[in-house]
Structure 1
Amino acid sequence: MLRQWRDRVVPGDVGLPQGAHRRATGLRREELARLAGISVDYLTRLEQGRASSPSTQVVEALARALRLSSTERERLFLGAGMPAPGPGIVPTHVAPSVQRLLDRLANTPVAVYDAAWNLIQANAPYDALMGDTSQLRGNDRNAVWRNLVGSGSRARQSAQEHDDQVARLVADLRLTAARYPNDRPLRALVAELREASAAFDELWAGALDAAAEQSRHKIIDHPLVGAIELDCDILAVAGDDLRVMVYTAEPGSEGADKLELAVVLGAQAVS
Protein backbone atom coordinates (compact mmCIF):
# COMPACT_ATOMS: atom_id res chain seq x y z
CA MET A 1 0.00 0.00 0.00
CA LEU A 2 2.73 2.47 0.95
CA ARG A 3 4.77 1.51 -2.12
CA GLN A 4 1.78 2.02 -4.44
CA TRP A 5 1.06 5.45 -3.01
CA ARG A 6 4.74 6.37 -3.18
CA ASP A 7 4.93 5.39 -6.85
CA ARG A 8 2.09 7.68 -7.86
CA VAL A 9 3.47 10.90 -6.31
CA VAL A 10 5.07 13.17 -8.90
CA PRO A 11 8.32 14.53 -7.43
CA GLY A 12 7.73 18.00 -8.85
CA ASP A 13 4.41 18.20 -7.01
CA VAL A 14 6.18 17.96 -3.65
CA GLY A 15 8.98 20.38 -4.49
CA LEU A 16 11.56 17.80 -5.58
CA PRO A 17 13.52 17.88 -8.88
CA GLN A 18 12.19 15.55 -11.54
CA GLY A 19 15.64 14.61 -12.89
CA ALA A 20 16.42 13.46 -16.41
CA HIS A 21 17.76 10.04 -15.45
CA ARG A 22 15.20 9.11 -12.86
CA ARG A 23 14.25 5.42 -12.78
CA ALA A 24 11.63 5.59 -10.01
CA THR A 25 8.14 6.42 -11.30
CA GLY A 26 7.29 8.31 -8.14
CA LEU A 27 9.14 9.12 -4.95
CA ARG A 28 12.28 7.30 -3.94
CA ARG A 29 12.30 5.82 -0.45
CA GLU A 30 14.83 8.34 0.78
CA GLU A 31 12.71 11.20 -0.58
CA LEU A 32 9.55 10.04 1.15
CA ALA A 33 11.49 9.39 4.35
CA ARG A 34 12.86 12.95 4.27
CA LEU A 35 9.44 14.45 3.59
CA ALA A 36 7.90 12.47 6.47
CA GLY A 37 10.80 13.09 8.86
CA ILE A 38 11.63 9.41 9.43
CA SER A 39 14.64 7.23 8.61
CA VAL A 40 14.93 5.32 5.34
CA ASP A 41 15.47 2.10 7.30
CA TYR A 42 12.22 2.60 9.25
CA LEU A 43 10.28 3.40 6.06
CA THR A 44 11.69 0.25 4.44
CA ARG A 45 10.54 -1.84 7.40
CA LEU A 46 7.09 -0.22 7.25
CA GLU A 47 6.74 -0.97 3.54
CA GLN A 48 7.84 -4.56 4.06
CA GLY A 49 5.55 -5.08 7.05
CA ARG A 50 8.49 -5.59 9.42
CA ALA A 51 7.72 -2.59 11.65
CA SER A 52 4.75 -2.62 13.99
CA SER A 53 2.92 0.02 15.99
CA PRO A 54 4.07 3.22 14.28
CA SER A 55 3.08 6.34 16.19
CA THR A 56 0.13 8.51 15.22
CA GLN A 57 2.60 11.26 14.33
CA VAL A 58 4.47 9.00 11.89
CA VAL A 59 1.27 7.83 10.19
CA GLU A 60 0.02 11.40 9.89
CA ALA A 61 3.36 12.56 8.49
CA LEU A 62 3.27 9.81 5.85
CA ALA A 63 -0.30 10.72 4.91
CA ARG A 64 0.75 14.35 4.37
CA ALA A 65 3.89 13.46 2.42
CA LEU A 66 1.94 11.08 0.17
CA ARG A 67 -0.87 13.62 -0.40
CA LEU A 68 -3.50 11.09 0.69
CA SER A 69 -7.20 11.83 0.54
CA SER A 70 -9.29 11.53 3.71
CA THR A 71 -10.40 8.01 2.73
CA GLU A 72 -6.84 6.90 1.94
CA ARG A 73 -5.58 8.43 5.18
CA GLU A 74 -8.15 6.39 7.08
CA ARG A 75 -6.96 3.25 5.27
CA LEU A 76 -3.38 4.06 6.25
CA PHE A 77 -4.33 4.39 9.91
CA LEU A 78 -6.30 1.14 9.81
CA GLY A 79 -3.38 -0.59 8.10
CA ALA A 80 -1.17 0.62 10.95
CA GLY A 81 -3.55 -1.00 13.43
CA MET A 82 -5.23 2.13 14.76
CA PRO A 83 -8.36 4.15 13.98
CA ALA A 84 -7.97 7.55 12.36
CA PRO A 85 -8.26 10.37 14.92
CA GLY A 86 -11.92 11.20 15.39
CA PRO A 87 -14.11 13.77 17.15
CA GLY A 88 -12.64 15.25 20.30
CA ILE A 89 -9.07 14.98 18.96
CA VAL A 90 -7.14 17.98 17.60
CA PRO A 91 -6.96 17.44 13.82
CA THR A 92 -3.54 17.43 12.18
CA HIS A 93 -4.50 16.34 8.67
CA VAL A 94 -3.52 18.72 5.87
CA ALA A 95 -6.03 18.08 3.10
CA PRO A 96 -4.65 17.74 -0.45
CA SER A 97 -6.46 20.95 -1.46
CA VAL A 98 -4.71 22.86 1.34
CA GLN A 99 -1.40 21.22 0.45
CA ARG A 100 -1.78 22.42 -3.15
CA LEU A 101 -2.23 25.94 -1.82
CA LEU A 102 0.91 25.57 0.29
CA ASP A 103 2.82 24.24 -2.72
CA ARG A 104 2.04 27.47 -4.57
CA LEU A 105 3.80 29.32 -1.75
CA ALA A 106 6.98 27.27 -2.15
CA ASN A 107 9.16 30.41 -2.26
CA THR A 108 7.46 32.09 0.71
CA PRO A 109 8.14 31.25 4.39
CA VAL A 110 5.12 29.21 5.51
CA ALA A 111 4.46 27.08 8.60
CA VAL A 112 1.33 25.10 9.47
CA TYR A 113 0.15 24.66 13.07
CA ASP A 114 -2.73 22.65 14.49
CA ALA A 115 -5.33 24.18 16.81
CA ALA A 116 -3.13 23.47 19.85
CA TRP A 117 -0.25 25.37 18.21
CA ASN A 118 1.82 22.26 17.50
CA LEU A 119 3.97 22.69 14.40
CA ILE A 120 2.79 20.30 11.68
CA GLN A 121 5.03 21.33 8.83
CA ALA A 122 7.24 24.16 7.63
CA ASN A 123 8.72 24.75 4.20
CA ALA A 124 12.36 25.40 3.35
CA PRO A 125 12.06 29.23 3.20
CA TYR A 126 10.52 29.22 6.70
CA ASP A 127 13.39 27.12 8.02
CA ALA A 128 15.86 29.47 6.32
CA LEU A 129 14.21 32.45 8.01
CA MET A 130 13.38 31.08 11.46
CA GLY A 131 15.81 28.18 11.93
CA ASP A 132 15.69 24.46 11.14
CA THR A 133 12.36 23.22 12.49
CA SER A 134 13.38 19.58 11.95
CA GLN A 135 15.57 20.00 15.05
CA LEU A 136 12.58 20.79 17.25
CA ARG A 137 11.57 17.85 19.43
CA GLY A 138 8.72 17.12 21.81
CA ASN A 139 7.11 20.13 23.45
CA ASP A 140 9.49 22.49 21.68
CA ARG A 141 7.37 21.95 18.55
CA ASN A 142 4.55 23.74 20.38
CA ALA A 143 4.45 27.53 20.01
CA VAL A 144 3.02 28.12 23.48
CA TRP A 145 5.77 26.03 25.09
CA ARG A 146 8.52 27.64 23.00
CA ASN A 147 7.41 31.15 23.97
CA LEU A 148 7.08 30.39 27.68
CA VAL A 149 9.52 27.59 28.49
CA GLY A 150 11.54 26.58 25.45
CA SER A 151 13.89 28.07 22.91
CA GLY A 152 11.82 31.08 21.81
CA SER A 153 12.10 32.39 18.25
CA ARG A 154 14.05 34.85 16.12
CA ALA A 155 11.20 37.38 16.20
CA ARG A 156 12.25 40.52 18.06
CA GLN A 157 9.77 41.49 20.79
CA SER A 158 9.51 43.92 23.67
CA ALA A 159 8.48 42.47 27.03
CA GLN A 160 4.96 43.82 26.52
CA GLU A 161 4.70 42.38 23.01
CA HIS A 162 5.83 39.01 24.33
CA ASP A 163 3.29 39.07 27.17
CA ASP A 164 0.48 40.06 24.81
CA GLN A 165 1.38 37.29 22.36
CA VAL A 166 1.50 34.69 25.13
CA ALA A 167 -1.88 35.85 26.45
CA ARG A 168 -3.42 35.42 22.97
CA LEU A 169 -1.86 31.98 22.56
CA VAL A 170 -3.05 30.76 25.97
CA ALA A 171 -6.56 32.09 25.38
CA ASP A 172 -6.67 30.28 22.02
CA LEU A 173 -5.32 27.11 23.62
CA ARG A 174 -8.10 27.18 26.23
CA LEU A 175 -10.72 27.40 23.50
CA THR A 176 -9.03 24.49 21.70
CA ALA A 177 -9.01 22.38 24.87
CA ALA A 178 -12.74 22.99 25.24
CA ARG A 179 -13.39 21.93 21.62
CA TYR A 180 -11.28 18.75 21.88
CA PRO A 181 -11.87 17.30 25.35
CA ASN A 182 -10.71 13.80 24.37
CA ASP A 183 -7.24 14.82 23.24
CA ARG A 184 -4.84 13.25 25.75
CA PRO A 185 -1.63 14.84 24.34
CA LEU A 186 -3.29 18.25 24.64
CA ARG A 187 -4.24 17.59 28.27
CA ALA A 188 -0.68 16.43 28.96
CA LEU A 189 0.75 19.56 27.33
CA VAL A 190 -1.45 21.81 29.46
CA ALA A 191 -0.46 19.95 32.64
CA GLU A 192 3.24 20.25 31.80
CA LEU A 193 2.88 23.94 30.97
CA ARG A 194 1.09 24.62 34.27
CA GLU A 195 3.87 22.89 36.14
CA ALA A 196 6.74 24.48 34.19
CA SER A 197 5.48 28.07 33.89
CA ALA A 198 3.91 30.19 36.61
CA ALA A 199 2.91 32.73 33.95
CA PHE A 200 1.01 30.06 32.00
CA ASP A 201 -0.65 28.73 35.15
CA GLU A 202 -1.86 32.21 36.07
CA LEU A 203 -3.20 32.88 32.58
CA TRP A 204 -4.85 29.45 32.37
CA ALA A 205 -6.61 29.88 35.70
CA GLY A 206 -7.68 33.46 34.96
CA ALA A 207 -10.37 35.02 32.83
CA LEU A 208 -10.58 33.96 29.20
CA ASP A 209 -9.40 37.14 27.56
CA ALA A 210 -6.39 38.41 25.67
CA ALA A 211 -4.95 41.64 24.40
CA ALA A 212 -6.13 42.83 21.02
CA GLU A 213 -4.14 41.66 18.01
CA GLN A 214 -1.06 43.80 17.48
CA SER A 215 0.50 44.93 14.21
CA ARG A 216 1.39 42.19 11.76
CA HIS A 217 4.76 43.91 11.34
CA LYS A 218 7.62 41.74 12.63
CA ILE A 219 11.38 42.10 12.87
CA ILE A 220 13.27 38.82 12.51
CA ASP A 221 16.85 38.78 13.79
CA HIS A 222 18.55 36.49 11.29
CA PRO A 223 22.04 35.30 12.31
CA LEU A 224 23.54 35.87 8.84
CA VAL A 225 21.42 38.59 7.25
CA GLY A 226 20.61 40.72 10.29
CA ALA A 227 17.28 42.36 11.07
CA ILE A 228 14.57 41.60 8.47
CA GLU A 229 11.34 43.63 8.56
CA LEU A 230 8.40 41.51 7.42
CA ASP A 231 4.65 41.11 7.69
CA CYS A 232 3.33 38.00 9.42
CA ASP A 233 -0.21 36.82 8.70
CA ILE A 234 -1.93 33.86 10.31
CA LEU A 235 -4.61 32.32 8.10
CA ALA A 236 -7.23 29.96 9.55
CA VAL A 237 -8.32 26.84 7.66
CA ALA A 238 -11.75 26.58 9.20
CA GLY A 239 -12.77 23.10 8.08
CA ASP A 240 -9.53 21.53 9.29
CA ASP A 241 -8.91 23.86 12.27
CA LEU A 242 -5.39 24.69 11.13
CA ARG A 243 -3.34 27.89 11.38
CA VAL A 244 -1.14 28.81 8.42
CA MET A 245 1.60 31.34 9.26
CA VAL A 246 2.94 33.30 6.27
CA TYR A 247 5.83 35.79 6.21
CA THR A 248 5.97 38.32 3.35
CA ALA A 249 7.70 41.60 2.52
CA GLU A 250 6.70 44.63 0.48
CA PRO A 251 8.02 44.07 -3.07
CA GLY A 252 11.15 46.07 -3.73
CA SER A 253 11.74 46.78 -0.06
CA GLU A 254 14.93 46.15 1.91
CA GLY A 255 13.01 43.46 3.80
CA ALA A 256 12.24 41.68 0.51
CA ASP A 257 15.91 41.73 -0.50
CA LYS A 258 17.05 40.44 2.89
CA LEU A 259 14.40 37.71 2.91
CA GLU A 260 15.49 36.55 -0.53
CA LEU A 261 19.10 36.44 0.65
CA ALA A 262 18.16 34.47 3.77
CA VAL A 263 16.27 31.91 1.66
CA VAL A 264 19.22 31.54 -0.75
CA LEU A 265 21.65 31.07 2.13
CA GLY A 266 19.31 28.49 3.66
CA ALA A 267 19.16 26.54 0.40
CA GLN A 268 22.96 26.62 0.11
CA ALA A 269 23.33 25.32 3.67
CA VAL A 270 21.04 22.37 2.90
CA SER A 271 22.82 21.52 -0.35
Structure 2
Amino acid sequence: MCELLGMSANVPTDMTFSMAGFFRRGGATGPHRDGWGVAFYEDQGYREFKDPQPSIQSPLARLMLEYPIKSHIVISHIRQANVGGVNLSNTHPFSRELWGRHWCYAHNGQLANFREQLPLSFYLPVGSTDSEWAFCWLLGEIRRQFPQPPENPVAMQELIHQSCEKLRSLGVFNLLFSDGQYLYAYCSTKLAHITRRAPFGPALLKDTELEIDFAACTTPKDVVSVLATEPLTSNETWHIMQPGELVVFEEGEVVAERTSHAAASN
Protein backbone atom coordinates (compact mmCIF):
# COMPACT_ATOMS: atom_id res chain seq x y z
CA MET A 1 0.00 0.00 0.00
CA CYS A 2 0.93 3.68 -0.09
CA GLU A 3 2.57 5.69 2.69
CA LEU A 4 1.75 9.08 4.20
CA LEU A 5 3.82 11.91 5.63
CA GLY A 6 2.51 15.07 7.26
CA MET A 7 3.56 18.00 9.42
CA SER A 8 1.91 20.66 11.55
CA ALA A 9 4.04 23.43 13.09
CA ASN A 10 3.60 26.71 14.93
CA VAL A 11 6.34 28.39 12.87
CA PRO A 12 7.25 28.05 9.18
CA THR A 13 9.29 24.84 9.07
CA ASP A 14 10.91 22.84 6.29
CA MET A 15 10.58 19.07 5.97
CA THR A 16 13.73 18.20 4.05
CA PHE A 17 15.02 15.94 6.83
CA SER A 18 11.83 13.87 7.04
CA MET A 19 11.39 13.81 3.26
CA ALA A 20 14.95 12.53 2.83
CA GLY A 21 13.91 9.35 4.63
CA PHE A 22 10.36 9.22 3.30
CA PHE A 23 11.35 9.52 -0.37
CA ARG A 24 13.77 6.61 0.05
CA ARG A 25 10.71 4.43 0.61
CA GLY A 26 9.55 5.29 -2.90
CA GLY A 27 11.60 2.60 -4.64
CA ALA A 28 14.70 2.08 -2.48
CA THR A 29 13.80 0.94 1.06
CA GLY A 30 10.11 0.48 0.13
CA PRO A 31 8.05 -0.70 -2.86
CA HIS A 32 6.07 2.53 -3.40
CA ARG A 33 7.23 3.23 -6.96
CA ASP A 34 4.02 4.54 -8.54
CA GLY A 35 4.36 8.26 -7.94
CA TRP A 36 4.68 10.78 -5.16
CA GLY A 37 3.41 14.21 -4.22
CA VAL A 38 3.73 16.91 -1.57
CA ALA A 39 1.61 19.94 -0.70
CA PHE A 40 2.68 22.98 1.32
CA TYR A 41 0.51 25.58 3.03
CA GLU A 42 2.33 28.93 3.22
CA ASP A 43 0.60 32.00 4.68
CA GLN A 44 -2.67 32.10 2.70
CA GLY A 45 -1.12 30.28 -0.24
CA TYR A 46 -0.85 26.66 -1.28
CA ARG A 47 1.57 24.90 -3.59
CA GLU A 48 1.71 21.32 -4.71
CA PHE A 49 4.29 19.17 -6.48
CA LYS A 50 3.47 15.75 -7.95
CA ASP A 51 5.25 13.24 -10.17
CA PRO A 52 4.14 9.76 -11.31
CA GLN A 53 7.80 8.64 -11.28
CA PRO A 54 9.23 6.85 -8.21
CA SER A 55 10.45 9.42 -5.70
CA ILE A 56 13.84 7.72 -5.53
CA GLN A 57 14.35 8.46 -9.24
CA SER A 58 12.47 11.74 -9.60
CA PRO A 59 14.46 14.92 -10.36
CA LEU A 60 11.55 16.86 -8.88
CA ALA A 61 11.86 14.93 -5.61
CA ARG A 62 15.56 15.78 -5.51
CA LEU A 63 14.63 19.43 -5.96
CA MET A 64 12.33 19.20 -2.92
CA LEU A 65 15.27 18.00 -0.82
CA GLU A 66 17.44 20.88 -2.03
CA TYR A 67 14.73 23.54 -1.79
CA PRO A 68 13.71 23.93 1.88
CA ILE A 69 10.16 25.29 1.57
CA LYS A 70 8.99 26.49 4.97
CA SER A 71 5.38 25.75 5.80
CA HIS A 72 2.93 25.42 8.70
CA ILE A 73 1.24 22.33 7.25
CA VAL A 74 2.61 19.72 4.84
CA ILE A 75 0.96 16.62 3.37
CA SER A 76 2.96 14.12 1.31
CA HIS A 77 2.28 10.70 -0.23
CA ILE A 78 4.17 7.94 -2.00
CA ARG A 79 2.04 5.57 -4.04
CA GLN A 80 1.87 1.84 -4.59
CA ALA A 81 -0.99 1.64 -7.07
CA ASN A 82 -3.91 -0.73 -6.56
CA VAL A 83 -6.84 1.16 -8.17
CA GLY A 84 -6.24 3.35 -11.22
CA GLY A 85 -3.28 3.60 -13.57
CA VAL A 86 0.10 5.14 -12.82
CA ASN A 87 -0.29 8.68 -14.10
CA LEU A 88 -0.37 12.27 -12.89
CA SER A 89 -4.14 12.47 -12.45
CA ASN A 90 -4.04 9.53 -10.01
CA THR A 91 -1.10 10.89 -7.99
CA HIS A 92 -1.78 12.18 -4.46
CA PRO A 93 -2.32 14.55 -2.80
CA PHE A 94 -5.60 15.80 -4.22
CA SER A 95 -7.01 19.27 -3.62
CA ARG A 96 -10.30 21.15 -4.00
CA GLU A 97 -11.71 24.52 -2.91
CA LEU A 98 -14.34 24.97 -0.19
CA TRP A 99 -15.23 28.24 1.62
CA GLY A 100 -12.38 29.97 -0.20
CA ARG A 101 -9.84 27.53 1.27
CA HIS A 102 -7.59 24.94 -0.33
CA TRP A 103 -8.44 21.49 1.05
CA CYS A 104 -5.72 18.87 0.65
CA TYR A 105 -6.14 15.11 1.01
CA ALA A 106 -3.97 11.98 0.83
CA HIS A 107 -5.10 8.41 1.48
CA ASN A 108 -3.38 5.12 2.19
CA GLY A 109 -5.48 2.00 1.67
CA GLN A 110 -8.04 0.42 -0.62
CA LEU A 111 -11.85 0.64 -0.62
CA ALA A 112 -14.39 -1.86 -1.91
CA ASN A 113 -17.66 -0.95 -3.64
CA PHE A 114 -16.82 2.73 -3.25
CA ARG A 115 -18.86 3.93 -6.25
CA GLU A 116 -22.01 2.27 -4.93
CA GLN A 117 -21.48 3.18 -1.27
CA LEU A 118 -20.26 6.77 -1.72
CA PRO A 119 -22.67 8.77 -3.91
CA LEU A 120 -21.09 12.00 -5.13
CA SER A 121 -22.73 15.42 -5.07
CA PHE A 122 -20.83 18.62 -5.83
CA TYR A 123 -17.28 17.32 -6.37
CA LEU A 124 -16.21 14.88 -9.08
CA PRO A 125 -12.93 12.99 -9.52
CA VAL A 126 -10.49 13.79 -12.31
CA GLY A 127 -8.63 10.48 -12.09
CA SER A 128 -9.80 6.91 -11.54
CA THR A 129 -8.71 6.06 -7.98
CA ASP A 130 -10.85 5.04 -5.05
CA SER A 131 -8.87 7.61 -3.05
CA GLU A 132 -9.95 10.62 -5.08
CA TRP A 133 -13.53 9.36 -5.24
CA ALA A 134 -13.55 9.14 -1.41
CA PHE A 135 -12.10 12.65 -1.18
CA CYS A 136 -14.86 14.05 -3.41
CA TRP A 137 -17.47 12.27 -1.28
CA LEU A 138 -15.94 13.46 2.01
CA LEU A 139 -15.65 17.09 0.95
CA GLY A 140 -19.16 16.92 -0.49
CA GLU A 141 -20.47 15.73 2.88
CA ILE A 142 -18.75 18.65 4.61
CA ARG A 143 -20.15 21.10 2.06
CA ARG A 144 -23.66 19.65 2.42
CA GLN A 145 -23.70 19.82 6.22
CA PHE A 146 -21.78 23.09 6.49
CA PRO A 147 -22.51 25.45 3.57
CA GLN A 148 -20.56 28.01 5.61
CA PRO A 149 -17.63 27.36 7.97
CA PRO A 150 -19.00 26.06 11.29
CA GLU A 151 -18.43 28.25 14.32
CA ASN A 152 -17.82 25.20 16.50
CA PRO A 153 -14.79 23.10 15.43
CA VAL A 154 -16.15 20.16 17.44
CA ALA A 155 -19.01 19.74 14.98
CA MET A 156 -16.53 19.55 12.11
CA GLN A 157 -14.37 17.05 13.96
CA GLU A 158 -17.40 14.87 14.64
CA LEU A 159 -18.48 14.90 10.99
CA ILE A 160 -14.99 14.07 9.75
CA HIS A 161 -14.64 11.25 12.26
CA GLN A 162 -18.05 9.76 11.41
CA SER A 163 -17.25 10.00 7.69
CA CYS A 164 -13.88 8.32 8.17
CA GLU A 165 -15.53 5.54 10.15
CA LYS A 166 -17.86 4.92 7.22
CA LEU A 167 -14.92 4.89 4.82
CA ARG A 168 -13.03 2.45 7.05
CA SER A 169 -16.02 0.10 6.88
CA LEU A 170 -15.30 -0.22 3.13
CA GLY A 171 -11.68 -1.32 3.56
CA VAL A 172 -8.42 0.33 4.64
CA PHE A 173 -8.59 4.10 5.09
CA ASN A 174 -5.63 5.98 6.57
CA LEU A 175 -5.99 9.72 5.98
CA LEU A 176 -4.22 13.07 6.08
CA PHE A 177 -6.56 16.00 5.40
CA SER A 178 -6.24 19.76 5.85
CA ASP A 179 -7.92 23.10 5.21
CA GLY A 180 -4.77 25.10 5.95
CA GLN A 181 -5.62 25.64 9.63
CA TYR A 182 -6.11 22.14 10.98
CA LEU A 183 -4.38 18.92 10.01
CA TYR A 184 -6.66 15.90 10.45
CA ALA A 185 -5.10 12.44 10.75
CA TYR A 186 -7.25 9.31 10.78
CA CYS A 187 -5.90 5.81 11.36
CA SER A 188 -7.42 2.67 9.93
CA THR A 189 -4.39 0.38 10.18
CA LYS A 190 -1.09 2.29 10.37
CA LEU A 191 -0.25 5.87 11.30
CA ALA A 192 2.17 7.33 13.85
CA HIS A 193 3.07 10.81 15.05
CA ILE A 194 5.66 12.62 17.15
CA THR A 195 5.67 16.15 18.57
CA ARG A 196 9.06 17.82 18.93
CA ARG A 197 9.51 20.75 21.30
CA ALA A 198 12.21 22.18 23.56
CA PRO A 199 14.54 20.77 24.69
CA PHE A 200 15.27 19.56 21.17
CA GLY A 201 17.74 16.77 20.51
CA PRO A 202 19.23 14.68 17.71
CA ALA A 203 17.21 12.48 15.35
CA LEU A 204 18.48 9.62 13.18
CA LEU A 205 16.58 8.48 10.07
CA LYS A 206 15.82 4.78 9.60
CA ASP A 207 15.90 4.78 5.80
CA THR A 208 19.19 6.56 5.17
CA GLU A 209 22.31 7.48 7.12
CA LEU A 210 21.28 11.00 8.03
CA GLU A 211 21.21 12.59 11.46
CA ILE A 212 20.20 16.08 12.55
CA ASP A 213 20.46 17.97 15.81
CA PHE A 214 17.21 19.92 16.01
CA ALA A 215 18.61 22.06 18.82
CA ALA A 216 20.88 23.73 16.26
CA CYS A 217 18.04 24.79 13.92
CA THR A 218 15.11 25.60 16.21
CA THR A 219 14.10 28.10 18.88
CA PRO A 220 12.74 27.25 22.34
CA LYS A 221 9.22 28.29 21.21
CA ASP A 222 9.03 25.93 18.20
CA VAL A 223 6.52 23.08 18.23
CA VAL A 224 6.56 20.66 15.29
CA SER A 225 4.48 17.49 14.89
CA VAL A 226 5.34 14.95 12.20
CA LEU A 227 3.12 12.09 11.08
CA ALA A 228 4.06 9.04 9.03
CA THR A 229 2.68 5.64 8.14
CA GLU A 230 5.76 4.12 9.79
CA PRO A 231 8.06 6.03 12.21
CA LEU A 232 10.88 7.73 10.30
CA THR A 233 13.52 7.84 13.03
CA SER A 234 15.18 5.13 15.08
CA ASN A 235 16.11 7.06 18.23
CA GLU A 236 12.81 8.76 19.08
CA THR A 237 9.54 7.56 20.60
CA TRP A 238 6.60 7.84 18.22
CA HIS A 239 2.95 7.58 19.22
CA ILE A 240 1.30 4.70 17.35
CA MET A 241 -2.31 5.55 16.53
CA GLN A 242 -5.10 3.04 17.02
CA PRO A 243 -7.68 1.90 14.42
CA GLY A 244 -10.58 4.35 14.35
CA GLU A 245 -8.60 7.17 15.99
CA LEU A 246 -8.79 10.74 14.68
CA VAL A 247 -6.18 13.26 15.83
CA VAL A 248 -6.44 16.96 14.99
CA PHE A 249 -3.39 19.22 14.96
CA GLU A 250 -3.18 23.00 14.97
CA GLU A 251 0.15 24.86 14.97
CA GLY A 252 1.98 21.70 15.98
CA GLU A 253 -0.22 20.84 18.96
CA VAL A 254 -2.81 18.09 19.31
CA VAL A 255 -6.06 20.00 19.82
CA ALA A 256 -8.56 17.14 19.60
CA GLU A 257 -8.71 13.35 19.62
CA ARG A 258 -11.57 11.00 18.85
CA THR A 259 -11.67 7.23 19.05
CA SER A 260 -13.81 4.62 17.35
CA HIS A 261 -17.12 3.87 19.07
CA ALA A 262 -16.62 0.22 18.09
CA ALA A 263 -13.16 0.14 19.68
CA ALA A 264 -14.42 1.90 22.81
CA SER A 265 -17.17 -0.70 23.32
CA ASN A 266 -14.81 -3.69 23.09
Higher strand share: 2
Higher helix share: 1
Q: Structure 1-normalised TM-score?
A: 0.26
Work out which of the two has the higher radius of gyration on C-alpha atoms and give 1 or 2: 1
What's the TM-score once normalised by structure 2's chain length?
Answer: 0.27
Q: Which structure has the higher relative contact order (CA within 8 Å, separation 6+)?
A: 2
